[in-house]
Amino acid sequence: MIKAICHGKNGRKIALLGITDMNIQKMREGKPIQIHGEEMGLGNLEIWIITGKDEAALAKTLSPMIGPETTVRNQTKERRQ
Q: What is the pLDDT of residues 11-28, one digit of tens each?
A: 998 989 999 999 999 988
At position 69, the amino acid (one-letter code) is E
CB 32 within 8 A of CB 17: no
Confidence of residue 77 (pLDDT cuts 50, 70, 90): low
Compute the distance between CA of residue 24 and CA of residue 81 in angstroms, rounded to an integer. Answer: 29
Distance CA 56, CA 52 (A): 8
pTM of the shown model: 0.67
Note the pLDDT of residue 75.
63
Q: Rounded to 5 degrees, what angle do the CA atoms 41, 44, 48 make?
A: 90
- 49-65 mean pLDDT: 84
